[in-house]
Structure 1
Amino acid sequence: MLLPAPVELPCRPDHAGGPLCDRTAATLDLMSRFGDEGGRTAGALHLLCGVPEPGPVQSCTRTLNRPMTIHGSGGHLHLLGREITIETNPGTPRARTVLDIPVWDFDDQGARPVRPVSLQAGETVKVTCRHDQALRDVLPAFEGQPDRYVLWGEGTTDEMCLGMLQVTFP
């Protein structure tokens, strides 16, 4: 089960003067690099998850439409990723964290087994990611690239927030 969340990461205040720091310009840049689908994904994620407040932390809560059991979890972020969590039934007495990676490692994106968690239709699963534009200053992949408003995109220097659950259905 894939759990995508929007990415809406504005430029840092001291770097906000660049032409790609405007969200519309950044969307057009994505479309020029990946076709129309590149720009549509951000909008589709707004339909799925709601329109988030731009910033370093983004999340998406999904309501399950059928019962399932979680057996494993994993995450996928790119180079600006810092951390990812997946919770079931957040904010309730039945809340459980099934993935908690407080220090994201782009080179370690494997799935992790979890003690099985059985969920019913109507229960919720939430993915939360944190990204950090300051990593642009230290990672070689960003050398020579202008600062920009970062949206969900396919390139390694774009970003994603994707939780993944290995599930079975009754």
Structure 2
Amino acid sequence: MTKGDILFKENDFIFSYRVGGILINNNKILLQKQVGDEGYAIPGGHVVYKETTEETLIREFKEELNADIKIRNLTAIGEIFFPWDNKPCQQICLYYNIEFNESNQIQLEDGFRGFDEAGDERFDLEYFWIPLEKLSEIEIYPKELVPHILSGSNNIFHFVSRQFL
């Protein structure tokens, strides 16, 4: 976690302000999952106080993956409700289409490992390049985003995802 993450943990709920980067290369999308978990997610991280969402995404990809990216466009806004440590979490997440800068530093095949921090927690992560045609067959959070990714639309998509306890 970077000091100043916009992540509030109260006694009975959590609020999270996050940004995710949709990175597609050779008809494969980069996804992450926590080690030991079955579900995949879009890589990204928590927005830091006084940081724009675009700045956050560039920083997160550099910190977690040592990758330099360019922001293409905002593609989706999600209001996501899900359990986090047996508490309800309300998350606002902005998703951007992104691409590599000319100097790419991450593997384009196979999987690899990294980590993330949120609050006082550290999460070991695995990253995978998943073929777009398999995206509908895997467990991905939030699932409401999958049809929009597959459509290739440049319109901004707003969705609500509810996965309560």
The TM-score normalised by the length of structure 1 is 0.25
Which is higher, the Rg of structure 1 or of structure 2?
1
As a proportion of its length, which structure holds more strand? 2
Greater RCO (Cα-Cα under 8 Å, separation 6 or more): 1
The TM-score normalised by the length of structure 2 is 0.25
